Structure 1
């Protein structure tokens, strides 16, 4: 056998100098990670220029367009040729200047890096120049706007300050571009950067909007305060729980420092901590400082919740190393641990001064209710197997000491009443089926539960395009959330019959609804659903159409715009309805005999009887309110009037409720009890099954009055 050849290492590859364009792209990738990092660099340049107004315009999350306009000092025309070259800056001249930096930018890499991965243009004007100048850059150098033209900056119109436009970011780095296709996420990051700088610079007005949008997504006024900026950008719920503290140590040595902290007290809770850290006005991140601040709230806030903290720290520039991260995201400074400890001690003392420990409150509450304290539970756990579930706050999820399988406990503030047999308002004042009124106790008891005998209301077959269009309108106008609330609601009780107010529950929320408005929409939709195929409600003996109309007209006030007398109006309405007897009978089952007797009415919902005292008003309104000349309008307006007739409640004419007897007496009558029974056991179940609720009902007819988790929060803080 031939011996195997001895292993020989590969020959060393030659070392080559990289091309300048590749070097610049590598460097640009370290500085510009995404549109938000480019914005941060330009934002700091604008603040260094003394700008008091900064406007940002974004398209496609900053990938297509990112423009920042300020009213700062501007850039001199003579500096424009080297503006986008690497390491060109007005902040440094010697290495020793690094030890006393008080500005944001200093290395001159931001615009250079951007010019290598995007199309960059600059329009700038100083206060002493007579016009603005526009320059275009690519790979750090001036380029002409069009072929054949000079690359020199061109004079143009412009305001004092600088406008920098970045287009097609990462157009020549497809890998980076493909990783940033989520424009909404990138825009959210841009808003986050602007929000943080707007809080730290309340004297500067910030505006951010999407290209083509007329209204900004972020806008802050100038001449504001940090507290007001926090309120505007993070909401009043944070601002009202804010506590401010100043911590400083003034000495003649370089260790002197000062800090200003705005932080929330124990009453504020959020799922995620918001921590804004500025060191010498530079937005930075520090996991050590953040972790120390989080430890302050341990034992104060429930597990799973976090505070809001804004910390502005000023230290001697000579003790800070700002050049430790390519994007200046981190800084190092002397005595970091000691300074952090003093700040956290001050926060803890202030929180203790403003509020009691939540842990103490929960232990006391547990003891007062006869439960076990946390110490007792811990002792018990040491002796027994860890099977007991426990909570740290009313908003926490149930946690076990280990991943023990089994059903999770549901706490009171998350319990949802789903049984229709649970107690309602009327359970305190029983309302029985009106058909049982006058029977013995045993009979009444046997029928106290609602009897669901209602047949399904089937949709009739109709080939009229007008009816099809009206049915399609209902489907298109359906509000999904409101319809879901009505489909899955639990009836609580009637609050006021005359004002048509009732309470319903959905999930952990309580709603006050105008059941009259809901019923009117329900009956309209049911009438349209049964068009041409109504059941009949026979009237025996049949009343006279003319007499019914006359009753309503006599009560009604006649408008001054008409010259007709009341008898003339009665004749006119009677003639209109009599001449359309065939159509009313065929489509709506409203039968009027040849001699003018009303024989039957359309029955919209089985087991539900309308208030026949409103029949004169219904027939009178058919004359002037129904648009008889147009098929679609005629059907729609007639069904609206029919729905209004079916709505429960007293008779109202000209906004006045007509009561012929004392209110207390009416409430005792069987008719009043029957109406309440119909509302609860017929009307609301029908809404649950058939009503496609339109959005218009949300305006005034459905109002949330309580939320169980919110109520527990209120009780918890009392």
Structure 2
């Protein structure tokens, strides 16, 4: 067949119209499943909404391979009746609607009865449920919308099993029968991040419900929120303090404008079909993000609205710098008669009356709240503590060798944005000249001032002038001091070598330390520069790494380091001999008599002392062999384990240490015994771990002891942390806080 104009066509045009056929039921269901279940996160959203409809106060999610291998949702809601299990996964089976008129005032999340049906067509679905009136739980399996047997040859009827009140839905091998959709999904990590995003948004809108999400076989959840919380607290928990501290509450309604305090003046009267009200949390001008975070809930349903998003972006246009975006959480409650929720298969969009007027009124409320709250910008870049005069540092003359000066931190940021803009606007000749200039400059890259990190050997910290704890070290200081990687002088100590130990419990404890190591935090401690002690009683010190200043709890860092040093030297400790050796019973008696908790104990103080002494005496051979804690047959404490040379623990805390070994150590289990003992030993070694009564010999002795402790912290503890501490992630919760950043401070000064 020839086509005019030399073109060809591969499209077949039938001479007669094809007959219309009814699609098979399985094909209809497969198409519907593709409309509703796009990825694991969309399946999770449908099931979480079912949990909330069931009145759940706790929702726990378990995920494997981004939800493609396993997606399990457990709630403590009202459960499902056994008589309803046979039609649970069929299409259009729901408890939310009975007539079409019910759709006009629907207040629940789900109503079409398609979620479980769609999931059963593209995955292996199983349900375990129990109502409060049932004596046991019931388990059922589904495929293509109908009950199936768990295993070949078994009955398809629901089986009785153990279970708590509520429902547990397990989805396995999602999209196993639709390989095209399965191959179109992203990586497992990206799919898992989408799941976390969905749960994060619903957790913020439902602060009274406890949410948790973790990967299968993971000991701790990646997302966890408490029940009976508040929206602001949940935002702080999930998005961080930097967002929560800049939030401004806004309330708005169809009748009531927002007053200066951000509250509504609500008038009485009945609501009509066009009435509505909303509650929001928006960030002020101090918060700036690269990407806008917009959480929109309409009648408690998570939806999207591009028109609202554009309108709210326009509100912030004159407030934030170009390229900066806000965080907005908005919850609107509109009369159900004015909302059409049945306009999208996944219910992520809704239509409602007077949309333009509502958007305009909410935008005006945001504008007014921001105007009231943000007369000027306030920039905070350090912890909220009262800094001593020597901590109020500032970057001064670049030619002077101050603490924050010197080498290149980020050489990639050499060419400024202004130069790039000029280069794009230049003509061809000017571009050639500019490119030649840049090529010459590339050989000698200029370092911006805010990225310089210089250190000088002439700089001295305040603590560098304190005396040593052991006067005998004064004569050795010149031979023992060396320069570390940062150019600072420290006391040269012997290497702490790892002992050879083949006990499975010790090997596992060492492996857990290596596995829990946080790489970036460990790098900060390895390459830090000691600045000074901020507050000795509260164990707070300042260190610098690159262009950042960190406030650290040196007590918590030291306790973790001493635990790791004890584990490192297990079975091969050096000994700290006590001359003369004190009696064990006397030491324990001192601690028991001074312990307030023993006053309410069921046993008398002599009985408690006898029990602790008997425990330690019966295990003195093991203590001597593994930990070098030597107790003679007569009950004299002859030696203690020495964890770090040149560091002597405060022996005033020895009675408390020996007393705690009785109740705090699990002597019945090998692994727990070793770990508990080493934790108590680390606590004994930690500076300032126990409050010791003030000395009565005079204030001069107290001052000397404080100077000695300061010297040990700077010249022994922090250098040892550089070499031996594998910092765990848990230290980031409250023990290591970034107090200042030099590039951020430059941004502040530039705006001023």
| TM superposition score category, shorter chain reference | 0.5 to 0.7
Matched residue pairs, number? 567
- RMSD over aligned CA atoms reads 6.4
2:84 is the counterpart of 1:84: no
Distance 1:458 1:108, change over 3 A: closer
Paired residue for 2:13?
Answer: 12
Which residue of 1 is the match for residue 283 of structure 2? 264
Report Cα offsets for 1:199-226 as digits up to 9, x if no partner.
Answer: 3233444444444556554444544443
**Shift in Å, 1:685:** 12
How far did residue 39 of structure 1 move? 1.4
Of 406, 413, 416, which residue of structure 1 is paired with 2:453? Answer: 416
- SS of equivalent residue, structure 1 residue 198: helix
CA distance in 2, matches of 1:360, 1:693: 34
Contact 2:215–2:221 under 8 Å retained in 1: yes
When Rg is computed on C-alpha atoms for both structures, the one with the higher figure is 1
Q: State the partner residue of 2:27.
A: 22
Once the two structures are TM-superposed, the CA of residue 639 in structure 1 deviates from its matched residue by 14
Aligned to 1:177: 182
- Tell me which moved more, 9-18 or 132-141: 9-18
CA distance in 2, matches of 1:348, 1:263: 11
Distance 1:278 1:124 in 2: 29
Structure 2: gaps of 5 or more residues: 256-269, 381-414, 424-437, 467-473, 476-485, 570-576, 588-621, 630-637, 655-691
Between 1:34-43 and 1:60-69, the stretch displaced more is 60-69
Corresponding position: 1:708 with 2:740 = yes
- List runs of 5+ in structure 1 lacking aligned partners: 362-396, 436-449, 529-548, 563-626, 668-672
Structure 1 segment 521-600 matched on structure 2, within 5 A: none
Would the alpha carbon gap of residues 647 and 256 (structure 1) be closer, same or farther in structure 2, given more than 3 Å must change? closer
1:85-111 CA-to-partner distances (Å, cap 9, x unmatched) read 223334445555544433322322211
The structure-2 alpha-carbon separation of the partners of 1:30 and 1:458, relative to structure 1 and needing over 3 Å to count, comes to same
Q: Give the Cα–Cα distance (whole angstroms) in 2 for the partners of residues 512 and 157 of structure 1.
A: 47
Correspondence for 1:506 among 531, 541, 545 = 545
Task: Supply the distance in 2 between the matched residues of 1:211 and 1:156 (Cα, whole angstroms).
Answer: 22
Structure 2 residue 361 is the aligned partner of structure 1 residue 324: no
* 2:295 corresponds to which of 276, 298, 302: 276
In 2, the alpha carbon distance for the partners of 1:128 and 1:512 equals: 53
List aligned pairs for 1:234-253, cutoff 5 A: 234-250=239-255
In the alignment, does 2:366 pair up with 1:347? Answer: yes
Instruction: Report the Cα offset of residue 421 of structure 1.
Output: 4.7
> Residues 26 and 252 of structure 1: is their aligned pair in 2 closer, same or farther, counting only changes over 3 Å?
same
The residue number in structure 1 matching 2:353 is 334
Contact 1:132-1:158 within 8 A present in 2 as well:
yes
Q: Which of 141, 145, 155 matches 2:146?
A: 141
SS in 2 for 1:142: strand
> Aligned equivalents of 2:56 and 2:300: distance in 1?
16
* Partner Cα separation in structure 1 for residue 70 and residue 8 of structure 2: 55
CA distance in 1, matches of 2:143, 2:489: 79
Is structure 2 residue 14 aligned with structure 1 residue 39?
A: no
Shift of 1:41: 1.0
TM-score (norm 2): 0.57
Q: 1:227 aligns with which of 227, 232, 239?
A: 232
Q: How does 1:352-371 map to 2 (within 5 A)?
A: 352-358=371-377
Which residue of structure 2 aligns with residue 391 of structure 1?
Answer: none
Kept in 1: contact 2:558–2:717 (CA 8 A): no
> Are residue 55 (structure 1) and residue 95 (structure 2) matched?
no
Q: Tell me by how many angstroms 1:32 deviates.
A: 0.6
Q: 2:106 aligns with which of 101, 107, 126?
A: 101
Per-residue CA distance 1:40-92 (angstroms, 9 max, x = gap): 112222333x4133433323132233233344444455544333222333444
TM-score after normalising by structure 1: 0.59
> Structure 1 residues 304 and 410 mapped into 2: Cα distance closer, same or farther (>3 Å)?
farther
- C-alpha offsets along residues 397-450 of structure 1, whole Å, 9 cap, x if unaligned? 9642844467787465x5533444557559999xxxx99xxxxxxxxxxxxxx9
Alignment of 1:605-644 (within 5 A): 644=645
